[in-house]
Chain A
Amino acid sequence: MKVTSPIGELPFTVQRVRTGGEGLVVEGELGAWRSRIEIGPGDVPMLARALRGPLIALGVGVVLVALTRRR
Chain B
Amino acid sequence: MTAVAVVGAGITGLACAASLVGESEVTVVDRIPVAGGVHGWERPETERLLAEAGGARMLLGETAIHWDGRELMVIGQDGARRVAVDALVVATGTRPLGRAELAIEGGRPAGVLAATVACHLAENGVTCGLRPLVYGGGDWAARAVRELLVAGAIRVTVVAPDGVHTSFPPDGRVLVRTGLQVVGVTGSPRVESVRLAGGEEIACDALVLGHGLVAVRNVDGAVWAGQRVVFAQPLDDPASVAGAERVGREAAEAVRSAL
Footprint of A on B, CB under 8 Å? 32-34, 41, 58, 60-61, 77, 120, 124
Chain A residue at minimal CB-CB distance from B30: A32
Asked if B60 and A31 make an inter-chain contact with CB atoms under 8 angstroms apart, the answer reads yes
Complex Cα distance A29/B58, Å?
15
Offer 18 A-B interface pairs, CB within 8 angstroms, sorted by A: A6-B124, A7-B32, A8-B32, A10-B41, A11-B34, A11-B41, A29-B33, A31-B32, A31-B41, A31-B60, A32-B33, A32-B34, A32-B58, A32-B61, A33-B33, A33-B61, A33-B77, A34-B77
* Contacts between the two chains (Cβ within 8 Å), count: 26
A30 at the interface (CB under 8 A from B): yes
The 10 closest A-B pairs by CB, nearest first: A31-B33, A32-B60, A32-B33, A31-B34, A32-B61, A33-B33, A33-B61, A7-B32, A10-B34, A31-B61
Q: How far is the CB of A42 from chain B (nearest CB, A)?
A: 27
Complex Cα distance A56/B77, Å?
41
Complex Cα distance A31/B77, Å?
12
Q: Tell which of B33, B58, B77, B120 touches A10, judged by Cβ atoms closer than 8 Å.
A: B33
Q: Which residues of A contact B61 (CB under 8 A)?
A: 31-33
Chain B residue at minimal CB-CB distance from A2: B42
Main secondary structure of the interface of B (DSSP, over half): loop
Q: Which residues of A contact B60 (CB under 8 A)?
A: 31-32
- In the complex, chain A residues 26-50 whose Cβ is within 8 Å of any chain B Cβ: 29-34
Complex Cα distance A34/B77, Å?
8
Q: Which residues of A contact B58 (CB under 8 A)?
A: 32
Task: For the A-B complex with A31-B32, A31-B61 known, give 4 more contacts whose Cβ atoms are closer than 8 Å.
Answer: A6-B124, A30-B33, A31-B60, A32-B61
Complex Cα distance A30/B60, Å?
11
Q: Which residues of B contact A31 (CB under 8 A)?
A: 32-34, 41, 60-61
Chain A residue at minimal CB-CB distance from B120: A6
Complex Cα distance A33/B9, Å?
15
Q: How far is the CB of B217 from chain A (nearest CB, A)?
A: 20
Q: Which residues of B contact A11 (CB under 8 A)?
A: 34, 41
Complex Cα distance A10/B77, Å?
17
Q: How far is the CB of A7 from chain B (nearest CB, A)?
A: 6
Q: How far is the CB of B147 from chain A (nearest CB, A)?
A: 13
Chain A residue at minimal CB-CB distance from B62: A32
